[in-house]
Amino acid sequence: MELNSSLASERLFAEDLDRKDDLAPFRERFSLIPGAVYMDGNSLGLCPRDAENAVAGTMGEWKRLGIRGWMEGNPPWFEMAERVGGDAASLVGADPDEVVLAGTTTVNLHALVSTFYEPTPERSVILADELNFPSDLYALGSQVALRGFDPGKSLKLAVSDDARTLRLVRLRQGPPVRHEP
């Protein structure tokens, strides 16, 4: 019986903290899942109602404007990456005209690697963290394969013992040295 009264007391305490929480009004801005305690905000958190409304508004513009939405949307879709980047610039200490947000991490990684990865038979290896999203590893492997190399040999996954740091063996300090095969 003592355990039940202790739990009831803890619940009352938690509910009191919730009532006093300055951030509590933000709860109503998300679509909550009935009966669920949702604690994963790492990748796909709860759906924000504002985002749902923005997407619905854009879909409505697409229906009404078609391709004209690129220039006639509110705001014009053509400027969206710059506008969103400008809004996010302060998060990274940049000026609004210095940041552009576009694509997903995997799509941006694919574009970056397709632009800069120029393998040769002597230098074809891409080093990646083994904890990358599977789609990122697939993007890297596909770029290796597109250039005629074997992803099993040219995509090396670095090991992380604690999910925070990489353990690379065979490190050497000093000026670069070319090793002949």
Last residue of a domain, one of 98, 113, 137: 98
Residue among 94, 155, 81, 98 at smallest CA distance from 124: 155
The token pair that represents 14 in the structure block: 């938690």
- The reply to whether 92 and 120 lie within a common domain is no
Q: Whole domain around residue 69: which residue ranges? A: 49-98
Rounded CA gap, 5 and 16, in Å?
A: 16
Q: Are residues 152 and 112 in the same domain?
A: yes
Task: Output the pLDDT for position 153.
Answer: 92
Same domain, 83 and 110: no
For the chain, the domain total comes to 2
pTM over 0.85: no
Q: 112 and 91 share a domain?
A: no
- Tell me whether residue 24 is in a domain: no
Q: Are residues 93 and 112 in the same domain?
A: no
Query: 3-state class of 155 per DSSP?
Result: strand
Are 127 and 152 in the same domain? yes
What is the per-residue DSSP string for 81-150?
HHHHHHHHGGGGT--GGG----S-HHHHHHHHHHHH----SSS--EEEETTS-HHHHHHHHHHHHHTT--
Provide the β-strand partners of residue 30: 48
Q: Please give the chain's pLDDT, 181 residues, in tens.
A: 455 667 778 889 988 998 999 999 999 999 999 988 887 766 678 899 999 999 999 999 999 999 999 999 999 999 988 999 999 999 999 999 999 888 888 898 899 999 999 999 999 999 888 777 888 899 999 999 999 999 999 998 887 666 666 554 444 444 554 545 4
Q: Domain for residue 42, yes or no? A: no
Is 153 inside a domain boundary?
Answer: yes
Which residue, chain included where needed, has tokens 């690697």? 113
Residue 69 is assigned to a structural domain of this protein: yes
Q: What is the pLDDT of residue 132?
A: 78
- Which pLDDT score, from 0 to 100, does residue 36 have? 85
Of 98, 118, 133, the last residue of a domain is 98
148 within a domain of the structure (yes/no)? yes
Q: Say yes or no: 75 and 110 in one domain.
A: no
How far apart are the C-alpha atoms of 146 and 117, rounded to whole Å? 11
What pLDDT sits at residue 173?
Answer: 45
Does 112 lie in the same domain as 88?
no
Contact 85, 96 (CB under 8 A): yes
